[in-house]
Each structure stands twice: as C-alpha cells, then as structure tokens.
Amino acid sequence: MKRASLLALSVASLFTTGALAAAVVGQPAPAFTATDLAGKPVSLADFKGKTVVLEWHNFGCPFVQKHYKSGNMQALQKKYGAEVVWLTVNSTNSGHQDYQSPAQLTKAMADAGAAPTRFVMDEPGKVGLAYGAKVTPHMYVIDPSGKVAYNGAIDDKRSANVEDVKTARNFVVAALEEMKAGKPVSNASNAPYGCTIKYR
C-alpha cells in the first residue's frame, strides 16, 4: 500500500497539461506588477526592450531542488545575467507548508548561491494564474518585443534526479541561444514537469 501511495504521489507530481492558454507563444506576455523580496515593486513593463526569463520556484519541490542542488539553475542565472532579465517567481500560498517568507527566501537564495535579477513574491498567485504556470519549475522566455518566445519545461529529463542534469537538453538555453543568433525558437512550447504550484 505504501509503495502504491508513493507511486501515485510521483505520478501526481509529474502530471502536467498542455493547455497553457494564458501565455501563448507569439502573443504579448501578460503584464504584471508584484513585489520583490525587499518589498519593492517589480513590473514586467520595467524591462521593456529586454529578453526576460521567468522561472517558477518552490524550494520545497524536489524538481526545483534538482536544479539548485546540482548548481544548474544558479549557473544559468549567472551565465545569462548580463544578457537577460531573470525573474524567479514564487506563487506558493502562505497557508501551505512549502511557503517561505521573504526573509527566509532571501537567506535560502543566498545560501544556494542563486543570482536572479529579481525574486518575485506572488503569494496571491495573480502572476502565476495570468501566465497559466502549472508547476515548479515552469519556464517562460519573453522576447524584447514583449512577446512570449518560450513556454514549457526547463529540459528534457523529466525527473527529480540530480544526475540527470548532466545529460539533459536544456530547452531554455536552446531558446536563448537561438534568439541571440536571430533564429526562431525551434521548440517554443512543450509540457512542463515538476510539482504542482501551491496556489490559494
């Protein structure tokens, strides 16, 4: 029975949907204003004319842990930090056990060596719901014209195994490199994988 329950949990955590109608590739990205870890406002409009990466985040999720324990997410944030605006977004509601306060997240991000441009607190879930974000990590790339250029998974290894990062094809990297080369994003939309976002 225990094994069956664990299997069900695993399947549930991997469940995703392809119906991501809120942020459609080729269409304008939903506008938003929220606050960062210091309580300062963050608006998508602040970054007009720049490429923006949105990374949905929850340190309590093993799929997120995979990319932070391996150093993968931090490496991407640092590698592209001079080229793009990287916004890490947390839509976990305050009543859930995975919720962390801005102070807790500030420490956790520092301890992990993370380097996003800003960390967006979305406890009400408005930003996540506007984008149709389903799981953590759900990734989006917005081009300099303000349109969604990528919507989907971070890579093609749909597991929580840290070792899989080494052999994965990173879809976000592929999208950013193709955009930099002036090419269309070849895999612009796919089903994300991870833990269901803990909305209100």
Q: From residue 86, give the alpha-carbon distance in Å to each of 6, 16, 53, 89, 95.
A: 34, 24, 5, 10, 27
Burial (0-12, 13-18, 19+ Cβ within 10 Å), 178: middle
Walk me through the domains of the chain, giving residue ranges and CATH numbers. Answer: 2-196 (3.40.30.10)
Q: Is the pLDDT of residue 93 over 50?
A: yes
Instruction: Summarize the confidence of residues 9-33 as an average pLDDT.
Output: 66
Cis peptide before 137 (omega within 30 of 0): yes
Largest CA distance in the chain: 54
Q: From residue 93, give the alpha-carbon distance in Å to each of 19, 49, 128, 199.
A: 23, 31, 11, 5
- pLDDT of 36-89, one tens digit each? 999 999 999 999 999 999 999 999 999 999 999 999 999 999 999 999 999 999
- pLDDT of 181-200, one tens digit each? 999 999 999 999 999 999 99
pLDDT at residue 19, rounded to an integer = 39
pLDDT at residue 183, rounded to an integer = 97
- pLDDT of 98-130, one tens digit each? 999 999 999 999 999 999 999 999 999 999 999
